[in-house]
């Protein structure tokens, strides 16, 4: 798949490392926060080995407004594979590409989850509330929640939850730098940050990775070489 459709969350779906309950929720269109990931996940799940997930994804695809899909796949930044998938379903790119927007093409999230710290809620209660959520709920909060939620969830023991944080469109370089400094995040998170050219272009992010003792030695050496060359 082309680089344009490679995100930490999508990679989990591509590798088949996503639990069934999360895949089923994603097949309903309720996990991804942006059009590219929503369409990419539905494309992947439409050929899932589980018939219920496969059928659910196919049903969700049929609910997508054809005009919105046609204008979205007309964008120049949409990967060829995704465009070809919808052309194969009878939806050709429109003459007018869709503008930039962050909302999914189909909003099926009816969970009623609060994505912010409640008024008067202590930081400890806020953290405990996140910890008590199910994995699908945590993924939603990682993708759609606040900066405070992302700071907590990036340390979640479930690898996909932590990786979903890095797929959130709202994550900025300052947050990524903070994640790169953490000694209590998984090596997967550090590896994902280190493999992103967009993030390692930032000197502070790269330096934080090099200084972090949890970063793999081989990766640190490669990053250190980049620092000396810059």
pLDDT at 3 over 60: no
Q: What is the pLDDT of residue 2?
A: 43
* pLDDT cut 90: percent of the chain above it: 47
Q: How does residue 5 score in pLDDT terms, banded at 50, 70 and 90?
A: low
The span from the CA of 74 to the CA of 35, in Å, is 13
From 194, 187, 127, 132, select the one nearest 162 (Cα to Cα): 187
The span from the CA of 203 to the CA of 209, in Å, is 10
Mean pLDDT of the chain: 87
pLDDT at 116 over 70: no
Give the residue extent of every domain in the chain.
3-88, 172-230
pLDDT at 26 over 70: yes
- What pTM, to 2 d.p., does this model score? 0.76
R_g of the chain, CA atoms, integer Å: 19
pLDDT (tens digit, 9 = 90+) per residue, 205-229? 999 999 999 999 999 999 998 888 7
Q: What is the pLDDT of residue 113?
A: 67
Pairwise pLDDT comparison (192 vs 3), residue with the higher score:
192
pLDDT at 153 over 80: yes
Q: At what angle do helices 20-27 and 51-63 cross, to 10 degrees?
A: 20
């Amino acid at each position: 798949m082309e680089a344009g459709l490679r995100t930490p969350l999508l990679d989990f779906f591509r590798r088949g490392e996503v639990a069934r309950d999360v895949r089923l929720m994603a097949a309903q269109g309720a996990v991804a926060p942006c059009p590219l990931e929503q369409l990419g996940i539905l494309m992947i799940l439409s050929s899932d080995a589980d018939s219920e997930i496969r059928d659910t994804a196919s049903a969700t695809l049929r609910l997508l407004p054809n005009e919105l899909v046609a204008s979205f796949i007309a964008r120049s930044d949409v990967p060829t594979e995704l465009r070809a998938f919808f052309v194969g379903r009878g939806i050709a790119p429109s003459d007018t590409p869709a503008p930039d927007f962050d909302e999914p093409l189909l909003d099926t999230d009816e969970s009623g989850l609060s994505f912010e710290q409640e008024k008067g809620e202590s930081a400890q209660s806020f953290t405990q509330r996140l910890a008590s959520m199910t994995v699908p709920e945590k993924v939603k909060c990682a993708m759609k929640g606040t900066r405070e939620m992302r700071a907590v969830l990036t340390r979640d023991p479930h690898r996909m939850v932590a990786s979903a944080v890095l797929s959130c469109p709202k994550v900025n370089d300052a947050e990524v730098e903070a994640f790169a400094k953490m000694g209590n995040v998984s090596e997967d998170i550090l590896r994902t940050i280190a493999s992103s050219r967009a993030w390692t272009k930032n000197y502070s992010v790269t330096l934080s990775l090099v200084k972090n003792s949890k970063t793999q030695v081989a990766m640190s050496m490669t990053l250190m070489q980049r620092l000396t060359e810059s």
